[in-house]
Structure formats: C-alpha cells, structure tokens
C-alpha cells in the first residue's frame, strides 16, 4: 500500500459526536484526498457532508461526500465510530454485547466491498471491539488498530504539564492497558524532558507529593465520567487522536502511539487487544514496543488483560 502517488481515501462509519468531530478535524489538516461519511441515518451523513464542504474554501482541498459501504473498496483507512454510546453511570465494558452485534454487521458490510486497507476502531469498549473487528474481518492483526490509550496518554501528559508548568510536548509518559477502569500509568518510565519524573521532582519541585501524582492519574482514568456528567459525551480530543493515528498511517510516519493491538507473547500476554506503545506506519502496526515495567506495573497490566479476557468470554468462545 504505497501512498505517495495515489489518491488517499478515508471512510468514517458513524457520524455521531466522535465521527463528526473526527471529520471536522481531518478536513483541517492536509492528510487525505477523500473523505466518505457513512451512517444508518443517511440524511445526517448528507447534512454533515454539506456542512463540511461549505468549509472547504477555508481548509485543505478534499472531496467529501455521504456514501455507502461500496465506497470502502478503494479506502485506505476505515474509521469506525458507530455504536451505542456510554451513558452516565455506565462503564465502557457495559457496552460489550450490543456493540459487538452492531460491529458484526458493519465489518461484514465493509469486507463485502473488497476492502483491503486498515481499520481504526474508536467505539467503546475499544479493546474488545478491536478484537471483534479483527475476528469478523479476517484481516491480519496489524491492520486492525484500536484507539487504545492514545487519549488517556494525552490526558496524562496534559495534566502533568499543568502540574509541573512544562510544555506538554516535553512530557514523555504512557498510560497502558485497557482503555477503561483498569488502565495504568507507567510511572517508572515517565520523563520530563530527559529526567525521570522522580529525579525532576527531587531537583525542581520538592513540594510535589506522591498523593498528588496519584490524584492526577485518577483524573486521567476517570476523565470520561467527569466529561459525560457535564456534557453527555467526549469527542473533541479523541477525534484529534484519531486524526493523529490516521496521519501516522497515511504518511508512513513510523510514529510511536499507545494503540490497542493484539499481543502475542509481549508483556507475557496472549490473544488480547490492549493499549501498548507501538510503531504505526502504512502497514498498520509495524511492531510493538515493550516498555520495561517494574513488578507492580507488570502485575497491573496482567490484571487489566485478565479483566478484558473475562469480559470477552461470553461473546467470544475460545
């Protein structure tokens, strides 16, 4: 799949909060040549296409239209944002059964078009739905990518940047595991600039306390609950994260992003989609990066994978 001299096409399935925010974010960057919007509510997709097209004089050249599954045949990337949304009081895992059933129909329809590109999955629970997409599509696992903890990692870096008053681009740290309640921060490998967070606190912020860092992580983990409580949905930041992932694929960037991908022995885990750092390029997942975890972090990641597997068992009989 070479992208240098060809028209690049992205298809978005689902034009709800996340899908429409993604489309708006994508058209503001010169990444793809064509954007196709698919939704069960055809008029909603048509309305979004019209609205976006009217903004093209202010943005990058792009062809945008409301289409159908046949348009997936020539797509390089299909982004799935469709499905039942997380409601107030629900966990992401509460959505499993209804969204797996929705995904079966979507993925089979995409594959009937002879789609041969890369899936990006954004719908929750994203780790389990990424696994479902891989199962239903029959594509190699490296070409089915979940948004994983890409947003959690961004939230983590943002809150640390606020706490330490340092440019967010100089905060280097990862949230890994389930995109949900069992995710974990890799404190042992978190750096501010070139210094470990522990060393940075000792040298530059002696009034910092471990309890404050724990509170920062709790705000990262529970951010979706706080936002949903206030406005009903989270969509801007994840949309930008999905565009970042799309760009890494279409531009063949070899970017390291914390996406949901299949583990086959990495971190001692098997047969589970879960958020870990991986190199992303035009092939999809080029390779998984194994961070050196301390004993506690490894236990937490193993627990997170166990929770996902247990939740999947009623749906996928191994």
Which residues lie below 8 Å from residue 145, measured CB to CB, with a gap of 6+?
A: 118, 119, 120, 121, 130, 245, 259, 260, 261, 280, 284, 285
Q: How far apart are CA 86 and CA 28, in angstroms?
A: 27
Around Cβ 306, how many Cβ atoms within 10 Å?
14
* Residue pair 153/174 in contact by the 8 Å Cβ criterion: yes
> What are the domain boundaries of the chain?
9-146, 150-312
Dihedral sign for Cα atoms in the order 106, 112, 113, 115: positive
Q: Where are the alpha helices (DSSP H) in 138-170?
A: 150-164
Q: Which residue of the set 179, 215, 226, 235 is catalytic?
A: 179
Whether 9-146 and 150-312 share one fold: the answer is no
> Are 246 and 10 contacting, i.e. CB atoms less than 8 angstroms apart?
yes
From the CB of residue 229, how many other CB atoms can be counted at a distance below 10 Å? 11
The CATH class of the 9-146 domain is alpha beta
Classify 286 as helix, strand or coil: strand
Q: What is the pLDDT of residues 272-288, one digit of tens each?
A: 999 999 999 999 999 99
What is the topology classification, in CATH, of domain 150-312?
A: L-2-Hydroxyisocaproate Dehydrogenase; Chain A, domain 2 (3.90.110)
**Side by side, which strands form the sheet with 63-66?**
63-66, 34-38, 9-13, 77-80, 118-121, 144-146, 255-264, 270-281, 284-288
What is the distance between the alpha carbons of residues 293 and 186, in angstroms, rounded to a whole number?
7
Report helix angle 42-53 to 17-27, nearest 10.
20
pLDDT tens readout for residues 93-142: 677 888 999 999 999 999 999 999 999 999 999 999 999 999 999 999 99
DSSP H helices, 96-186, are: 96-112, 126-137, 150-164
187 HSE (CA, 13 A, CB side): 14
Residue 89 backbone class (left: φ over 0; alpha: ψ -120 to 50; beta: rest): left
pLDDT by residue, tens only, the chain of 318 residues: 444 568 999 999 999 999 999 999 999 999 999 999 999 999 999 999 999 999 999 988 999 999 999 999 999 999 999 987 766 666 656 778 889 999 999 999 999 999 999 999 999 999 999 999 999 999 999 999 999 999 999 999 999 999 999 999 999 999 999 999 999 999 999 999 999 999 999 888 777 778 899 999 999 999 988 999 999 889 999 999 999 999 999 999 999 999 999 999 999 999 999 999 999 999 999 999 999 999 999 999 999 999 999 998 877 764
Q: Is 58 left (phi over 0), alpha (psi -120 to 50) or beta?
A: alpha
Distance CA 52, CA 111 (A): 27
Task: Please say if 179 is a catalytic residue.
Answer: yes
């Amino acid at each position: 799949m070479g992208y240098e001299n060809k028209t690049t096409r992205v298809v978005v399935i689902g034009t709800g909060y996340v899908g429409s925010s993604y489309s708006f974010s994508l058209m503001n960057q010169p990444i793809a040549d064509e954007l196709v919007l698919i939704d069960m509510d055809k008029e909603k997709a048509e309305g979004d296409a019209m609205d976006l097209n009217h903004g093209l004089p202010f943005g990058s050249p792009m062809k945008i239209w409301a289409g159908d599954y046949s348009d997936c045949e020539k797509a390089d990337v299909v982004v799935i944002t469709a499905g039942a949304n997380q409601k107030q009081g629900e966990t992401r895992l509460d959505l499993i059964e209804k969204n797996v059933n929705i995904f079966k129909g979507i993925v089979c329809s995409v594959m009937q078009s002879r789609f041969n590109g890369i899936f990006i999955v954004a719908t929750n629970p994203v780790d389990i739905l990424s696994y479902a997409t891989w199962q239903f599509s029959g594509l190699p696992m490296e070409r089915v990518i979940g948004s994983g903890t890409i947003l959690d990692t961004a939230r983590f870096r943002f809150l640390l940047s606020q706490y330490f008053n340092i440019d967010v681009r100089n905060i280097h740290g990862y949230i890994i595991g389930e995109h949900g309640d069992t995710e974990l921060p890799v404190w042992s490998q978190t750096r501010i600039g070139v210094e470990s967070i522990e060393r940075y606190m000792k040298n530059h912020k002696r009034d910092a306390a471990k309890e404050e860092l724990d509170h920062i992580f709790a705000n990262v983990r529970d951010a979706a609950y706080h936002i949903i409580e206030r406005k009903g949905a989270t969509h801007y930041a994840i949309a930008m994260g999905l565009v970042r992932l799309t760009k890494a694929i279409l531009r063949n960037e070899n970017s390291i992003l914390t996406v949901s991908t299949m583990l086959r022995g990495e971190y001692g885990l098997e047969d589970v989609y879960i958020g870990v750092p991986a190199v992303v390029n035009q092939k999809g997942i080029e390779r998984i990066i194994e961070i050196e975890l301390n004993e506690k972090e490894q236990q937490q990641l193993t627990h997170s994978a166990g929770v996902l597997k247990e939740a999947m068992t009623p749906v996928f009989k191994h």
